[in-house]
Amino acid sequence: MPADILFDLDGTLIDSSPGILASFGRILAADGLRPAVPLEAALIGPPLAVTLRRVSGIADEVRLAGLVEAFKQDYDTAGYLGTEVFPGVAAGLAQLAAADARLFIVTNKRLVPTRRILEALGLAQFFAGIHTRDETEPPAASKAAVTKRILARYGIDPAQALFVGDSGEDAAAARENGLRFIHAAYGYGGAGIAAAPDAVLRHFAELPGIVAALSRRAWATTGHP
């Protein structure tokens, strides 16, 4: 089994759409706005300011910045409580951790709600590292940049690691860092996967078996476990 597995969060481990969309709706209404696009799960994934620009239809940077802060206040106190875990995630993470895999989070979600959600759902215990774009100043330019930083910080060998995610951005982060990619096809961003992944995950309970199979394939190819 690979020593290290990196996970996207939204759309891969959790369904955060109910809480996020509810927060979007509340802050837009408070500002006298109607959504410029339907508030649906496919919006989830990009950085907050990018998504808020789309859902509000606002181009003015000052007003947009106000919406960003309003969202943070609402989501960090109320919206995040609407988060749900995808079926099989807790048991699958426990199985991987018990097999001595190191598990990491790499997400566009901000660090404060990320930690609150993982703690509230009882998932934080499984991760050797929880990393976000906003944990540095200035924030990382991309999820690929966060991934690169994680590999260096923990001494991760890309040949012995995997990235599990649901979006094209996740696939790109894996590709740019030499990681094999497992596509969580049940997530939000399947339409953005341009190249064929190394494996497709249709239910999280399948993940330990997929990881074991990819490990055997790597052993056969390289002669290394």
CATH number at residue 49: 1.10.150
Same domain, yes or no, for 130 and 174?
Answer: yes
Measured over all CA atoms, what is the biggest interatomic distance in the chain, rounded to whole angstroms? 62
Same domain, yes or no, for 53 and 113?
Answer: no
**Catalytic status, residue 4:** no
Same domain, yes or no, for 95 and 202?
Answer: yes
What pLDDT sits at residue 221? 56
What pLDDT sits at residue 192? 63
Same domain, yes or no, for 37 and 142?
Answer: no
Same domain, yes or no, for 214 and 144?
Answer: yes
Same domain, yes or no, for 117 and 203?
Answer: yes
Domain boundary (52, 67, 82) is at 82
The one catalytic residue in 4, 8, 134, 166 is 8
The CATH number linked to 151 is: 3.40.50.1000
What pLDDT sits at residue 220? 54
Output the pTM of the full model.
0.89
Q: Which domain holds residue 195?
A: 4-15+83-222
Would you give per-residue pLDDT tens digits along the chain (225 residues)? 568 999 999 999 999 999 999 999 999 999 999 999 999 988 887 888 999 999 999 999 999 999 999 999 999 999 999 999 999 999 999 999 999 999 999 999 999 999 999 999 999 999 999 999 999 999 999 999 999 999 999 999 999 999 999 999 999 999 999 999 999 999 887 666 777 899 999 999 999 999 999 987 765 554 555
79: exposed, middle or buried (C-beta count within 10 Å: 0-12, 13-18, 19+)? Answer: buried
Same domain, yes or no, for 39 and 97?
Answer: no
Number of H helices, E strands in the chain: 8, 8
What pLDDT sits at residue 175? 96
Place of tokens 């976000």: 132
Number of domains in the chain: 2
Report the C-alpha gap between 117 and 113 in whole angstroms: 6
